[in-house]
């Protein structure tokens, strides 16, 4: 009979147990009956949402639907005169009950956010290296040398070319797409569990958007992140999100697996969003079910050239 303590001295088994333990600790984030009022007006009206490690959850809706406010509420960045109720459960705690100090510790370390305009997250007068290392050291207290090495590794992870050189540069020396990658690097450098991406590609050229979206997908997989992707563009979600929630006027009107929502939308608002997608068929494994009438029918078509069929 094998000694039960043998596994404790087996490096491979010990590493496996550690991996399982770390996985079990990552429980994502659960939102239940979240309500937000600003100066007495309810703008989020009792929504439920789950963020799962290793998955991208899409939150779609038009401007003013409350989707960005949902992300800000998770981060504890509430507008003046606002009141939030319900539950935002993370690591067994309701974040809505956190003190400002406790929320500040979580924000940027365990919960991070990327915004539409990367320049809003970057100081124009500080080098990229300074901004990465300062952020990391505030939350971890590691040495300058260790912070610099982690900054290089993180820039490499988000595919910024020549990371050692990039550390010395300033925001104005990068393109919009590279700035968004740097903003993502700052967001993930402290190894967060939750990443909120609010319209992360809206300000980018179409040719650059695909690269940033693919980066989010790979980071989600590699780092086991629970990602909330906030966007008005269902086309973006069709290639990225695991599940989609559609929000309108502070209410989630539809929620489900990506292809179920996109191929068989149940709510009239969701159907309108899907049908508004330009050339939406290539995004999906099948056409969106629709009652559209037939436009043209071709039968027994032949081609006659130089007297031959």
Concatenated DSSP letters of 176-220: HHHHHHHHHHHHHTT--SEEEEESTTTTS-HHHHHHHHHHHHHHH
Is residue 6 a part of any domain in this protein?
no
Q: CB-based burial of residue 253 (10 Å sphere; 0-12 exposed, 13-18 middle, 19+ buried)?
A: middle
List the chain residues with pLDDT less than 70. Answer: 1-25, 279-309
Distance CA 228, CA 219 (A): 13
Per-residue exposure over 168-185, b if at least 16 CB sit within 10 Å of its own CB, e if not: ebebeebebbbbbbbbbb
pLDDT reported for residue 206:
82
| Inter-CA distances, 102 with 80, 110, 215, 225, 249, Å | 19, 11, 30, 21, 30
| Inter-CA distances, 144 with 188, 202, 240, 248, Å | 18, 35, 36, 46
pLDDT reported for residue 165:
98
Let me know: does 160 contact 182? Beta carbons within 8 Å: yes
Is residue 74 a part of any domain in this protein?
yes
Is residue 156 a part of any domain in this protein?
no
Is residue 186 a part of any domain in this protein?
no
Q: What is the pTM of this model?
A: 0.81
Is residue 250 a part of any domain in this protein?
yes
Residues in CB range of 8: below 8 A, 6 or more apart: 14
- Domain range enclosing 262: 23-104+196-202+233-284
pLDDT reported for residue 279:
62
Closest CA to 109 of 194, 206, 30, 207: 194
For residue 43, which phi and psi values (nearest 5 degrees)? Answer: -110, -20
The tokens 């290793």 sit on which residue? 54
| 147: helix, strand or coil | helix
pLDDT reported for residue 198:
95
Number of domains in the chain: 1
Is residue 214 a part of any domain in this protein?
no
Is residue 89 a part of any domain in this protein?
yes
pLDDT reported for residue 22:
46
| Inter-CA distances, 246 with 49, 90, 127, 194, 233, Å | 11, 23, 39, 20, 11
Residue 244, number of CB atoms within 10 A of its CB: 26
Sheet holding 93-94, edge to edge: 41-51, 29-38, 82-90, 93-94
| 169: helix, strand or coil | coil
Average pLDDT, the chain: 85
The tokens 């009141």 sit on which residue? 83
pLDDT reported for residue 235:
84
Is residue 120 a part of any domain in this protein?
no
Round to the nearest angstrom and report the end-to-end CA distance of the chain: 81
pLDDT reported for residue 11:
43
Per the DSSP assignment, residues forming a β-bridge with 38 are 41, 82
For 34, the enclosing helix (H) or strand (E) is: strand 29-38
Domain of 257: which CATH number?
3.40.50.300
């Amino acid at each position: 009979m094998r000694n039960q303590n043998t596994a404790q001295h087996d490096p491979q088994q010990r590493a496996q147990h550690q991996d399982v333990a770390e996985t079990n600790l990552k429980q994502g984030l659960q939102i239940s009956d979240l309500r937000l009022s600003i100066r007495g007006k309810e703008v989020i009206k009792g929504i439920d949402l789950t963020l799962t490690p290793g998955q991208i959850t899409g939150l779609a809706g038009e401007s003013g639907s409350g989707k960005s406010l949902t992300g800000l509420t998770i981060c504890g960045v509430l507008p003046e005169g606002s009141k939030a109720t319900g539950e935002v459960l993370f690591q067994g705690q309701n974040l809505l009950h956190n003190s400002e100090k406790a929320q500040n510790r979580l924000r940027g370390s365990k919960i991070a956010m990327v915004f539409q305009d990367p320049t809003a997250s970057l100081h124009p007068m500080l080098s990229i290296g300074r901004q990465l290392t300062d952020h990391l050291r505030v939350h971890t207290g590691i040495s300058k040398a260790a912070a610099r090495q982690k900054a290089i590794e993180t820039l490499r992870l988000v595919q910024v070319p020549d990371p050692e050189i990039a550390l010395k540069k300033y925001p104005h020396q990068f393109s919009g797409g590279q700035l968004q990658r740097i903003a993502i690097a700052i967001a993930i450098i402290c190894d967060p569990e939750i990443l909120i991406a609010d319209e992360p590609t809206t300000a980018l050229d179409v040719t650059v958007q695909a690269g940033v979206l693919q980066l989010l997908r790979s980071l989600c997989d590699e780092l086991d992140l629970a990602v909330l992707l906030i966007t008005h563009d269902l086309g973006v979600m069709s290639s990225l999100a695991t599940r989609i929630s559609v929000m309108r006027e502070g209410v989630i009107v539809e929620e489900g697996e990506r292809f179920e929502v996109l191929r068989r939308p149940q709510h009239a608002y969701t159907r309108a969003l899907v049908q508004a997608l330009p050339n939406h068929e290539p995004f999906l494994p099948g056409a969106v079910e629709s009652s559209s009438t037939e436009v043209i029918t071709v039968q027994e078509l032949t081609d006659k050239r130089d007297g031959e069929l």
